[in-house]
């Protein structure tokens, strides 16, 4: 189970780091590097304090069974949210996340404020960078905390996965110095959604005394089940769309002919 925790935390963090990096880059362009880095570091420190204090409190004060129930519940909420969004994007119900467009929109918004560029600490740049990293990182912090419920050093393993993703994304981002649009964000979100839903089901089940067959190995079977079900849902929605279109066209035509009849 330990490798699965590291992978889930790594993938979830990678997605959020990509989104945060885009906004840190906006802070760098509209202010300067110093402001962007100070804001980002302050946010990382805040997140570390949240994980350290809440993490220790969770693991030491709350009984394991209660912790597994709360964490299973939260992971199911997070997992289903991520999975739903990814399925919607795959089936065309929602637009794919476009880092370049977000970058351009934020640059325009920040420049519209008309703050002069200088080399010192610019309050707007620091705040933009801080807010972006904190908001994107908060979800990762909660995912890392949630894995604390797995017992055996879950928080440490999840934090390791998150840190590895951070190093990778920031390293690549600093090298290319542009929004990371090549990263398949929706695929990552889809995988993370499957993993969080799987862990959520597993742990909430255990908190109610369910003995899963094959013990931890059941996680793989559960993930495969959710993967197949999600693939079927994507296919069903994609196929249904033309039918919905036909139905709405038919109803529009019916309405128009009724209007004609009334006019006649």
Partner 1 sequence: MNIILKAILAVYNFFVGDLVILLGVTLLMVILALIHFLGALATLRGGSGAILIVGVLVTLVATLGREVMRPKNRQKA
Which of 84, 102, 107, 168 touches partner 1 (CB under 8 A)?
A: 84
Report the site for partner 1 in 129-188 (rule: CB under 8 A): 138-139
Which of 229, 231, 255, 256 touches partner 1 (CB under 8 A)?
A: 229
Q: Looking at 107-115, 153-161, 221-229, 256-264, which segment touches partner 1 (CB under 8 A)?
A: 221-229
Site string for partner 1, 186-205 (x = CB under 8 A): -----------x--xx--xx
The reply to whether 58 sits near partner 1 by the rule CB under 8 A is no
Please state, in angstroms and rounded to a whole number, the distance separating the CA atoms of residues 179 and 97: 12
Please state, in angstroms and rounded to a whole number, the distance separating the CA atoms of residues 123 and 30: 11
CB of 63 or CB of 209, closer to partner 1:
209
The reply to whether 242 sits near partner 1 by the rule CB under 8 A is yes
Smallest separation (angstroms) from partner 1 to the CB of 205: 5
The reply to whether 222 sits near partner 1 by the rule CB under 8 A is yes
Within 8 A by CB and 6+ apart from 26, the residues are 103, 106, 107, 110, 128
CB of 31 or CB of 197, closer to partner 1:
197
Answer yes or no: are the C-beta atoms of 189 and 85 closer than 8 Å.
yes
How many positions of this chain bind partner 1 (CB under 8 A)? 38
- CA–chain centroid gap for 176, Å, is 23
Comparing CA positions, the residue from 134, 79, 132, 141 lying closest to residue 102 is 132
The reply to whether 76 sits near partner 1 by the rule CB under 8 A is yes
The reply to whether 124 sits near partner 1 by the rule CB under 8 A is no
Please state, in angstroms and rounded to a whole number, the distance separating the CA atoms of residues 258 and 262: 6
Smallest separation (angstroms) from partner 1 to the CB of 158: 18
The reply to whether 63 sits near partner 1 by the rule CB under 8 A is no
The reply to whether 107 sits near partner 1 by the rule CB under 8 A is no
Q: What 3-state DSSP class applies to 192? A: helix
Q: Report phi then psi at 47, rounded to 5.
A: -65, -40
Q: Looking at 20-28, 48-56, 110-118, 222-230, which segment touches partner 1 (CB under 8 A)?
A: 222-230
Q: Which H or E run contains 211?
A: none
The reply to whether 220 sits near partner 1 by the rule CB under 8 A is no
The reply to whether 36 sits near partner 1 by the rule CB under 8 A is no
Please state, in angstroms and rounded to a whole number, the distance separating the CA atoms of residues 17 and 35: 18
Q: Give the Å distances, CA to CA, from 55 to 13, 52, 69, 88.
A: 17, 5, 16, 33
Half-sphere exposure of 241 (CA within 13 A, CB side): 12
Q: Which parts of this chain interact with partner 1 (CB under 8 A)? A: 69, 73-74, 76-78, 80-81, 83-84, 87-88, 92-93, 138-139, 197, 200-201, 204-205, 208-210, 212, 222, 225-226, 229-230, 233, 237, 240-242, 244-245, 248
């Amino acid at each position: 189970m330990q490798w699965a925790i590291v992978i889930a935390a790594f993938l979830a963090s990678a997605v959020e780091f990509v989104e945060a990096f885009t906004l840190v880059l906006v802070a760098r362009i509209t202010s300067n590097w110093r402001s962007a880095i100070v804001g980002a570091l302050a946010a990382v420190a805040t997140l570390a304090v949240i994980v350290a204090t809440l993490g220790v409190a969770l693991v030491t004060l709350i009984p394991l069974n209660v912790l597994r129930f709360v964490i299973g519940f939260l992971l199911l909420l997070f997992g289903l949210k991520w999975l739903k969004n990814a399925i919607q994007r795959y089936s065309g119900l929602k637009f794919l996340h476009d880092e370049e467009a977000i970058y351009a929109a934020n640059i325009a918004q920040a420049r519209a404020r008309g703050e002069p560029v200088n080399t010192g600490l610019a309050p707007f740049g620091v705040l933009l960078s801080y807010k972006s990293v904190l908001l994107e990182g908060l979800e990762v912090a909660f995912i890392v905390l949630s894995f604390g419920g797995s017992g055996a050093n879950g928080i440490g393993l999840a934090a390791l996965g998150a840190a590895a993703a951070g190093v990778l994304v920031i390293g690549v981002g600093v090298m290319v110095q542009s929004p990371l649009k090549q990263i398949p964000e929706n695929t990552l979100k889809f995988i993370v959604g499957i993993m969080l839903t799987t862990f959520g089901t597993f742990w909430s089940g255990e908190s109610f005394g369910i003995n899963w067959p094959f013990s931890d190995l059941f996680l793989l079977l559960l993930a495969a089940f959710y993967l197949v079900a999600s693939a079927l849902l994507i296919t069903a929605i994609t196929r249904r769309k033309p039918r919905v279109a036909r139905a709405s066209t038919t109803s529009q035509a019916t309405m128009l002919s009724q209007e004609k009849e009334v006019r006649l």
